[in-house]
Chain A
Amino acid sequence: MKLELRNVTKRFPGVIANDSVDLKVESGEILGLLGENGAGKTTLMNILYGLYSADEGEIIINGAEMSFTGPGDAIDAGIGMVHQHFMLVPVFTVAENVVLGIEPTVGPVGTIDLGEARREVEEISNKYGLDINPDATVEDLAVGIQQRIEIIKVLFRDAEIIVFDEPTAVLTPQEVEEFFKIVNGLKEAGKGIIFITHKLGEVLAISNRIAVLRRGKIVGEVDPKTASKEQLAELMVGRPVDLMVDKGAAEPGDVVLSVTDLVVRDERQHTAVDHVSFEVRAGEIVGIAGVQGNGQTELVEALTGLEPPLAGHVELNGIDVTLATPRALHRSSVAHVPEDRQRSGLVLEFDVAENIVLDSYYAEPYSHGIRMDWDYAHEHADELIDQYDIRTPSSRVKASNLSGGNQQKLIVAREFARDTKLIIASQPTRGIDVGSIEYIHNRIVEERDEGAAVLIVSSELDEILALADRILVMYRGQIVAEVSGEDATASQLGLYMAGSVA
């Protein structure tokens, strides 16, 4: 099967998401589609999958021009998509999720033939080595397993071209290897694969060809056998990129944050943080590495006062803050850059100034007693917009109008512009453009050099390796390794992240 995207263009208000994109994929090959966040990769794939319609250009399959009015048409044409965020109904079983939309039925009222569904799922599972129980309920399954359900879904629909959108975001390096085995197996079986990612190492490892997307245009096609990471990065961003952060040696001072034997439960009452102990000193960056879902979220929530821990102690400069509220911690010069900026970090309906004072409005000089001082707030916001390079015409613009990178810079501005003793930053550069990533990384190092204790939690190994002076690896709620920033390597950390103790 031969798939071609010719001259595909898609515009949104104020922005050209895809600009005359040409792409080709054939059966039995893996095309890597590389681009940074915001380059237009997902938009392009949504067009291919029928979720969007292109403003210009054609989709051509085996020489015939196709027009998709919805995912149904794309599926019929043999295109299967494994989304970055899983499209699985958590309360349904594996089999139900797989057959949803093309259920085998029996009888006049459309009774679902669950036996048949089970059978077919098992067949595919065995054929491609996916090892799945059709009757398991999805929300009980680990994330790595859930991804396999998505794969079964596309195979069940006889997909010939399979698109993987950022599939390895939630996998350990070892799981990534297993995943690559499966993908290669699919390739051998004659499927054409499009592998979308922003991870340079992976795209070089798995692809037969690489296309690089930047600001909506294809800026180059590269042969992975000869290309280097630096080359790819430069194509992705448009200028030479320094992949390492410019960082001097750390000079750690006194212990600022001391965590002892912390136990935290998650929403479903399972133990998410299991007797964790560590310290962070002034003037050092401690990075907690680990695949999402190993308790990092709950750890940060406990440290920032959002959820009370079940047991253990947390001390800030010697004072017990185990049960401190977010307000109390804020007063104690603790800064928190939250994991989900749109959910916890910002009120999208508020303007920039209101968001800047979101956690400091209660005190002078932003308010006098219960009277808000909006004039001051706007002045202050204008200053920060300038200092932190937040791209917005004014402080009266609603936060929802800012791009992800600028939203994150707003949060960073809000948190770092204060007197900070401890900074806790969770996934600080998730989903934002490379320019903003560079900026925020540099600011973090600046804060460290000014004497703050910095704790970074990130599932991006590259980020941890670039920033951290000391690295802790979290696996299944426990700290399983501590490595110095200088000595650490990705493969070593990967082993720890997957649970094997060296």
Chain B
Amino acid sequence: MVGVTAVVGSIDTVRAPAEVRRARILGLVYISLALLVYFVFSVGTDGDVTFRFGESPGDLDWTVSSSLLATVVAVIFGFLGGIQLTRGFGSKTNIILGLAMGVFAFAFLGWAGAGKSIGIVGILVTTVAAATPIAFGALSGVMCERVAVINIGIEGMLLTGAFTGAVVGTVASPFLGVIGATLAGGVMALGLAVLAIRYRVDQIIAGVVINIFALGITSFVSSQVLVENRAALNSPGVLGPIRIPLLADIPVVGRILFQQNIFVYVLYTMVVVLSYLLFRTRWGLRSRSVGEHPKAADTLGINVFRTRYRNVFYGGLIAGFGGAYFTLGSVGAFNENMTAGRGFIGLAAMIFGRWHPVGALAAALVFGFADSLQIRLSILDVGIPSEFLLMAPYLVTIIVVAGVVGAARPPAADGQPYVKE
């Protein structure tokens, strides 16, 4: 005779499914932020903050009481939290979250800059710049994951691109450096493809392997060879900003968007081109089918393996190009491990952007904003230790990934190797 273990309780409290729970967590986050903004940024803050939107002081200024700004933002967040907890935003959740972060940053700046003036244009210019490598990482991820290959190795591809760009850029020319970087990324991606597709190594492990390998090789050669021969091998210089006439003259926006270096312009083009190719052309339909239902694609005569190899290679090219940004677009020389996690942030941006090139760009901008804020604030001397500011992009990434993933759907076959029987 086996006794029956009773579990008491009928249906008063229904356990909500995971998605509703995630929405609730996000709602609580909004509410907490509202409280934070009010009590920290608003209460007890004196003074006005001046946001400078123009080139020189006085051009396009907006002065507002820091305390008032913070209160308004707190109310907005409370409102958002309310909606999130009850109805939720559905497919717009990510967009709202991104905008909310921007608004939060405003309140934060208002508080940090109370009694001072803050150049917004400068921050936004840096935002676009900082977002660029992240965006390339994200686009690389999109290219690979749309055919259901998870590419954790983006970090390694960026690093390899940076390295190759520096060396080839010094030995030959910056232009050739960019080409070299792109190809180097592609080669690394082929390594990933071979491991994941041909040898069916677990894709995440394969990506980690690529990263470790890239870090090892670049650090080794850098410390053995580059350090001693800086002038001959590691001083490619920086490709400066190019001003697009007419467009750059648009007030506020012009300087931010159209006075950047070539990498940024390639980024814009790439986002548009990739979106079109993915969603309007034959190549895109077939690629996506491989990512969603490879067996179906196979039965219709589409070569799943070749499609995956090809797209992963393209993804590597994109990441390699993005990697060149670090050396040829920003620092001007290669330093060990200079990518500092941007590849992974790029992955988070890809998820945040729901595996769509435009979304990836938008998400990258959010992360780039966190990055550039951190640089600005350390100059502003806000009273927050610099170490915490440096954590900002990583914290934002965690918040995004926790709040957002699972709400969007990756390509259905993501992460699964294709097995032909």
Min Cβ gap B321→A in Å is: 20
Nearest chain B residue, comparing its CB with the CB of A269 = B17
Q: Do the beta carbons of B7 and A100 come within 8 Å of each other?
A: no
Q: Do the beta carbons of B10 and A419 come within 8 Å of each other?
A: no
Q: Do the beta carbons of A100 and B14 come within 8 Å of each other?
A: no
Determine the chain B residues whose CB is within 8 A of the CB of A316 once the complex forms: 4
| 5 A-B interface contacts by CB (under 8 A) | A51-B299, A51-B421, A109-B281, A319-B4, A323-B10
A7 at the B interface (CB under 8 A): no
In the complex where A51-B299, A309-B11 touch, is A331 in contact with B5 (Cβ < 8 A)? Answer: yes
A72 to B304, CA, bound (A): 13
Determine the chain B residues whose CB is within 8 A of the CB of A333 once the complex forms: 2, 4
Interface digits, A38-81 against B, CB 8 Å rule (1 contact, 0 not)?
Answer: 00000000100101100000000000000000111001000001
Q: Do the beta carbons of A320 and B6 come within 8 Å of each other?
A: yes
Q: Do the beta carbons of B5 and A328 come within 8 Å of each other?
A: yes
Determine the chain A residues whose CB is within 8 A of the CB of B281 once the complex forms: 105, 109-112
Min Cβ gap A411→B in Å is: 21
Q: Do the beta carbons of B7 and A87 come within 8 Å of each other?
A: no
| 8 Å CB interface, A151-191 against B | 153
Q: Do the beta carbons of B299 and A332 come within 8 Å of each other?
A: no
A158 to B215, CA, bound (A): 54
A51 to B299, CA, bound (A): 7
A89 to B298, CA, bound (A): 12
Min Cβ gap B295→A in Å is: 6
Min Cβ gap B160→A in Å is: 30
Q: Do the beta carbons of B2 and A419 come within 8 Å of each other?
A: yes
In the complex where A90-B293, A322-B11, A323-B7 touch, is A105 in contact with B282 (Cβ < 8 A)? Answer: yes
Min Cβ gap A65→B in Å is: 21
In the complex where A89-B292, A310-B11 touch, is A112 in contact with B2 (Cβ < 8 A)? Answer: no
Q: Do the beta carbons of B300 and A101 come within 8 Å of each other?
A: yes
Min Cβ gap A159→B in Å is: 13
Determine the chain A residues whose CB is within 8 A of the CB of B391 once the complex forms: none
Determine the chain A residues whose CB is within 8 A of the CB of B8 once the complex forms: 320
Nearest chain B residue, comparing its CB with the CB of A52 = B421
Min Cβ gap A415→B in Å is: 15
Q: Do the beta carbons of B280 and A87 come within 8 Å of each other?
A: no
**In the A-B complex, the 4 residue pairs with the closest CB atoms:** A72-B301, A87-B296, A101-B300, A110-B282
Residues of chain A at interface, number, CB under 8 A? 51
| 8 Å CB interface, B218-261 against A | none
B15 at the A interface (CB under 8 A): yes
Determine the chain B residues whose CB is within 8 A of the CB of A153 once the complex forms: 300
> How many A-B Cβ pairs are below 8 Å?
120
Determine the chain B residues whose CB is within 8 A of the CB of A97 once the complex forms: 296
Q: Do the beta carbons of B286 and A100 come within 8 Å of each other?
A: yes
Q: Do the beta carbons of A49 and B285 come within 8 Å of each other?
A: no
A111 to B302, CA, bound (A): 18
Q: Which of B5, B17, B300, B412 contacts A332 (CB 8 A)?
A: B5
Q: Do the beta carbons of A91 and B7 come within 8 Å of each other?
A: no
Q: Do the beta carbons of A71 and B292 come within 8 Å of each other?
A: no
Q: Do the beta carbons of B280 and A324 come within 8 Å of each other?
A: no
Nearest chain A residue, comparing its CB with the CB of B291 = A89
B277 at the A interface (CB under 8 A): yes
Interface digits, B267-287 against A, CB 8 Å rule (1 contact, 0 not)?
Answer: 000000000110011110110
A115 to B14, CA, bound (A): 47
Main secondary structure of the interface of A (DSSP, over half): loop
A103 to B284, CA, bound (A): 11
Nearest chain B residue, comparing its CB with the CB of A105 = B282
Min Cβ gap B297→A in Å is: 7
B9 at the A interface (CB under 8 A): yes
A331 to B2, CA, bound (A): 8
Q: Do the beta carbons of A101 and B302 come within 8 Å of each other?
A: yes
B374 at the A interface (CB under 8 A): no
Min Cβ gap A184→B in Å is: 25
Min Cβ gap A316→B in Å is: 6
Determine the chain B residues whose CB is within 8 A of the CB of A322 once the complex forms: 9-11
Determine the chain B residues whose CB is within 8 A of the CB of A111 once the complex forms: 280-282
A313 at the B interface (CB under 8 A): yes
B66 at the A interface (CB under 8 A): no
Q: Do the beta carbons of B4 and A89 come within 8 Å of each other?
A: no
A286 to B151, CA, bound (A): 50
| 8 Å CB interface, A225-257 against B | none
Q: Do the beta carbons of B2 and A312 come within 8 Å of each other?
A: no
Q: Do the beta carbons of A325 and B299 come within 8 Å of each other?
A: no
Interface digits, A90-127 against B, CB 8 Å rule (1 contact, 0 not)?
Answer: 11100011001101010001111000000000000000
A435 to B421, CA, bound (A): 26
Determine the chain B residues whose CB is within 8 A of the CB of A324 once the complex forms: 5, 7
Q: Do the beta carbons of B282 and A75 come within 8 Å of each other?
A: no
A89 to B10, CA, bound (A): 40
Nearest chain B residue, comparing its CB with the CB of A310 = B14
Q: Which of B277, B297, B412 contacts A90 (CB 8 A)?
A: B412
Min Cβ gap B419→A in Å is: 12
Q: Do the beta carbons of B10 and A320 come within 8 Å of each other?
A: yes
Q: Which of B14, B282, B292 contacts A91 (CB 8 A)?
A: B292
Q: Do the beta carbons of A320 and B7 come within 8 Å of each other?
A: yes
Interface digits, B1-29 against A, CB 8 Å rule (1 contact, 0 not)?
Answer: 01011111111001101000000000000
Interface digits, A285-324 against B, CB 8 Å rule (1 contact, 0 not)?
Answer: 0000000000000000000000011111100110111111
A111 to B286, CA, bound (A): 12
A88 at the B interface (CB under 8 A): yes
Q: Do the beta carbons of B292 and A92 come within 8 Å of each other?
A: yes
Q: Do the beta carbons of A311 and B11 come within 8 Å of each other?
A: yes
B289 at the A interface (CB under 8 A): yes
A280 to B9, CA, bound (A): 22
Determine the chain B residues whose CB is within 8 A of the CB of A103 once the complex forms: 282, 285
A83 at the B interface (CB under 8 A): yes
In the complex where A49-B299, A100-B300, A332-B2 touch, is A325 in contact with B282 (Cβ < 8 A)? Answer: no
A83 to B296, CA, bound (A): 10
Min Cβ gap A73→B in Å is: 8
Determine the chain B residues whose CB is within 8 A of the CB of A89 once the complex forms: 288-289, 292-293, 296-297
A120 to B4, CA, bound (A): 62
A415 to B116, CA, bound (A): 73
Determine the chain A residues whose CB is within 8 A of the CB of B5 once the complex forms: 324, 328, 331-332
